[in-house]
Structure 1
């Protein structure tokens, strides 16, 4: 469905209080900074275990499985897609049965070309089998949207998997492979989000190779390219004075990967962080003091001015790039709205990636 055709991210009942995962208005982001009494807390030193940590963590309030893909179609035209499944617990405590289950699920799917951006959104209550995630064999689903493993899926890399979703005027299906294990973000998977200690558990699979098809207005085309999956869970990922974030996942033509974000605060200051992921899968954290992220151009979408072009520099790595969106109007007009779309970049390094803008 087109970006003009639906309104976005209103997470019925329990989700309205907490602007789930990547996108929201001010009320939603206030929810992300609310205290999380009764829920499990994110603390340093967690030892990740796979496949278990590919599955759900219902003792935490918020969780997501978030994939973006930078693709080229058979005509050589760039395009992108997003597939995201969110889980939120409406209240802490033992899991209820059936309709009494307190887990609420939401999913977003989108495809983006230079000339169009289409998206769709689904919701489900937990406990009835309509949505969920299983660690072994891996499967994440809501209705007929799914990310699904096979008997060949490796627990360390979460690959291979297949991916599919559809809206009223688009659909896609991908096969994803990867040769490297998943990458722990932050300090061994402990990803600090503020100076006051808010954090998430966070890992990524930035090495997916993608092949499949996208159909827009019932016109299918073969696609191939690169994909990046983020996994996070937390109970209070933001502080009360944080309003949103600017987030980038970058595929460098050298084979290296780069994750960057800055969390914006009400006082005008930012909390930036980065992780340089080498082509061999090894990582190096980048201090916030060494990250320069400067918006260079805005576009007005849905009554908001959004910084869709950026100049980014990391002086310690002699890194300086300019980023431009494939489609400046890649607005996710769901309940708690956000901007999410493919970008390209050039400068000391070049490549493609995804940009996410929330809280504007």
Structure 2
């Protein structure tokens, strides 16, 4: 999924790609490297570039060309990168974040080119296990804090909206880190929105 919000024009551009891959090689319209960062979905691609990353995402009425450079060590989520996602220990993922990436972007919206600089966040998460049968939704935030710190919080929801499992982490800019236990994370809606299209 790729998205660009143009505040001046009050437009939100978005696009997505999905493909199946046989797992063989890096040829064809869709593939993923197994030994390094590298993904291609049609004309979209993300790859390692030097010590950072490069993403090129052309998409109809908009496009993004991102260069991302690490400014901090990787953040291993959970217990040294092993992040529980349910009440059973096997319901877990391997989860690594790269917060506070220095980002530069060349982009276009409706044919108008522009450039921007800012701060980005990248996650890499993978698992061999399906989620708990009661998990029907997932809320997640990853926030680059202005002081250089990083905050992650997530919860898996049951059908009635209660939390089945929760977790996350906080890391200060100087490196002190803490992982959150399930009882440490609570998401409380501040307001609600009703779609005018679907009610």
> TM class by shorter-chain length?
0.7 to 0.9
Unaligned ranges ≥5, structure 2:
none
Q: Which of 61, 69, 85 is the equivalent residue of 1:169?
A: 61
Structure 1 length as normaliser, TM-score?
Answer: 0.49
**Matching residue of 2:146:** 253
Q: Which of 45, 48, 54 is the equivalent residue of 1:149?
A: 48
Q: Which of 129, 150, 175 is the equivalent residue of 1:236?
A: 129
**Matching residue of 1:139:** 38
Identify the structure with the greater helix proportion.
1
Change (3 A) 1:260 1:169: same
Does residue 130 in structure 1 map to residue 58 in structure 2? no
1:249 and 1:203 map into 2 onto residues whose CA distance is: 12
Contact kept? 1:193, 1:237, Cα under 8 Å: no
1:237 and 1:202 map into 2 onto residues whose CA distance is: 15
TM-fit CA distance, 1:288: 2.7
Which secondary structure state, in structure 2, belongs to the residue aligned with residue 235 of structure 1?
coil
* CA RMSD, Structure 1 to Structure 2 (Å): 2.0
**Matching residue of 1:206:** 99
Contact kept? 1:200, 1:237, Cα under 8 Å: no
Structure 2 length as normaliser, TM-score?
Answer: 0.85
Q: Which of 179, 186, 195 is the equivalent residue of 1:292?
A: 186
Once the two structures are superposed, the pairs formed by residues 1-360 of structure 1 within 5 Å of their partners are 108-114=1-7, 115-127=10-22, 129-134=28-33, 138-150=37-49, 152-153=50-51, 160-197=52-89, 198-270=91-163, 271-301=165-195, 303=198
Unaligned ranges ≥5, structure 1:
1-107, 154-159, 305-360
The 4+ residue runs of structure 1 with deviation greater than 4 A are: none
Aligned residues: 190
Contact kept? 2:78, 2:179, Cα under 8 Å: yes
Change (3 A) 1:135 1:196: closer
Change (3 A) 1:110 1:296: same
